[in-house]
A and B are shown apart, each in its own frame.
Chain A
Amino acid sequence: MRRYDCDIVVVGAGPGGSMAARYCAEGGLKTILLEKKAEIGAPLRCAEGVSKKWLEEVGIEPEPMWIRGDMKGAIIKSPQGTTFQLDESKAGSEVGYVLERHLFDKALARDAAEAGAQIMMRTGVTGVIRDGSGKLVGVKARSMGEEVEIYAKCIVAADGYESQVGRWAGIDTTLKLNDVDSCIQYRMCNIDCAPDYCEFVIGSVAPGGYIWIFPKGDGVANVGIGVMGRLCKGEGDAKRYLDKFIAEDPRLSKGQILEIMGGFVSTCPGLDCAVDDNIVLVGDAARIIDPITGGGICHACRTGMYAGKVLTECAKKGDFSKAALMPYEKMWRDRMEDKLYRNWMAKEKLASLDDETIDELIRMIKDSDIGEVNVYNLLKVVKEKFPQVVEGFEDLI
């Protein structure tokens, strides 16, 4: 069996994996980045909307190549049709770009390669390797049909929602049904949507989740839905709800579908611990994703960067034990934990509201002057007028 040896093996070349690989390689570590598929960034499993502020934080220079649209704002809509429009001046950090993920992901992988990482395509990990003492020493994989072993001092699990590598290594990444959203998205053309606003429709049209319309230009948009796992009935619910919504919305009903994609997101506040001896989990694999929007690209990039920086330090001491990796745990929690927890609580409450209350909420937000609009400021208004909605997590607002 062919054998590879490196310092760090990164499983998955999405944003989290590529960022981890880049920062490991920049730190001078021999890094191998594995991608199961035949193409990085495709097939798509994403609505492609991101905010902008974090890009600089993780050292990503915006490139016109992967920016499909620069958004002016966002629209939040109730099932009754009450809309609340956030414009750029007020939209704050929640508005940003619609990406071309197939180009964005390749650009991040390219950055990792330029930093010195080796990329192995069509290499799917099938398990972990432990030595005689039970210590994790690498991964088993199928690489273009060949069984291979990749030995490393530490594994970075960036295998996304599937999150199998962590589980093979003994970290429980299992989700509760409340913390799963089953999603489907159509790339639609011939529709009439605002060209530079991202639209979100909440309420019973998408139980426990929401419907999104993210414009891709020229009458094309990503039109998708997430439905909370607990509320799925095993009848292809996500597709049923989305098809019903499209049929009843005159802007969309004449649209045609160019591409269909599925994909799930976790909506919990992250794993209890995303490290163990000789393994670090990043991004969706660590269940670190905004529980209310299901947006995870910035979380993946941040955690990937933190992992790369911490692993670089660990390599200096030759210690990749759980204790040595704990600074990673501290970094992501310090940066994101409060917000993840707050949005997780808000998601649970939102899922419990009926359409009338949601409509009332949107009317109220519409009428209040809340300055820069972000989840934090929205919840602050809600706290004043609908205290029962934020009951249990007032302290985080």
Chain B
Amino acid sequence: MIVDYDKCLHCGGCVGSCPQNAIYLNDYILEFGEECNDCGRCIKLCPVSALSRGA
């Protein structure tokens, strides 16, 4: 998952919404674990569209 840190508000919304519990918010940095199965829920829900699959 690609995080646009110029947009991210580090609100933790993606963390609590991740069905795989694969995301950890370390203050300002989002860490994606290998449990991520690319379901895209975090992309769908992000209030500022800071997440994407990249190219």
Is A229 a contact of B17 with CB atoms below 8 Å?
A: yes
Interface size class of B (residues with CB under 8 A): 20 to 34
User: Are A174 and B48 in contact, with the CB atoms below 8 A?
Assistant: no
Query: Chain A 182-205, CB within 8 Å of chain B: the 1/0 string?
Result: 111000000000000000000000
**Closest approach, in angstroms, between the C-beta of A260 and any C-beta of chain B?**
6
Binds B, one of A79-87, A162-170, A360-368: A162-170
Give A177 to B42 CA distance when docked, in angstroms.
11
Q: Which B residues from 25 to 51 make CB contacts under 8 A with A?
A: 25-27, 40-41, 43-50
Q: Using Cβ atoms and an 8 Å threshold, which residues of chain A touch B48?
A: 184, 236, 238-239, 262
Which residue on B lies nearest to A180, using beta carbons? B17
Is B3 interfacial (CB 8 A cutoff)?
no
CB pair B12–A264 under 8 Å, yes or no, is: yes
Within the complex, which residue of B10, B15, B40, B45 is in contact with A180, where a contact is CB–CB below 8 Å? Answer: B45
By beta carbon, the residue of chain B nearest A175 is: B17
Q: Are the C-beta atoms of A184 and B9 separated by less than 8 Å?
A: yes
Closest residue of chain A to B46 (Cβ to Cβ) is A236
Asked if B27 contacts A236 (CB within 8 A), the reply is: no
Q: Is A126 in contact with chain B by the CB < 8 A criterion?
A: yes
Structural contact, A264 and B43, CB atoms closer than 8 A: no
Query: Is the CB–CB distance between A232 and B44 below 8 Å?
Result: yes
- Contacts A126-B24, A174-B19, A236-B49 given; indicate if A162 touches B12 (C-beta within 8 A): yes
Main secondary structure of the interface of B (DSSP, over half): loop
Q: C-beta contact mask, B1-30 vs A, less than 8 Å → 1, else 0?
A: 000000101111101110101001111000
Other-chain contact of B49, A164, A180, A234 (Cβ < 8 Å): A234
Residues from chain A with a CB closer than 8 A to the CB of B19 are: 174
Alpha-carbon distance A143/B47, docked complex (angstroms): 30
* Inter-chain contact B49/A262, CB cutoff 8 Å: no
CB distance from A393 to the nearest CB of B (A): 26
Given contacts A174-B19, A264-B17, contact A236 B47 (CB under 8 A): yes
- Whether B46 lies near A45 (C-beta < 8 A) is no
Write the chain B residue with the least CB distance to A38: B27
> Which residues of chain A are within 8 angstroms of B17 by Cβ–Cβ distance?
175, 180, 229, 264
Determine the chain A residues whose CB is within 8 A of the CB of B7 once the complex forms: 236
B47's partner among A37, A160, A173, A238 (CB-CB below 8 A) is: A238
Sampled A-B contacts (28; CB under 8 Å): A36-B27, A43-B10, A126-B24, A160-B12, A160-B16, A161-B13, A161-B16, A162-B25, A164-B16, A167-B21, A177-B41, A177-B44, A182-B46, A184-B47, A184-B48, A227-B47, A229-B44, A229-B45, A232-B44, A234-B49, A235-B49, A236-B49, A238-B48, A239-B49, A260-B9, A262-B9, A263-B11, A264-B45
| Residues of chain B whose beta carbon lies under 8 Å from any beta carbon of chain A | 7, 9-13, 15-17, 19, 21, 24-27, 40-41, 43-50
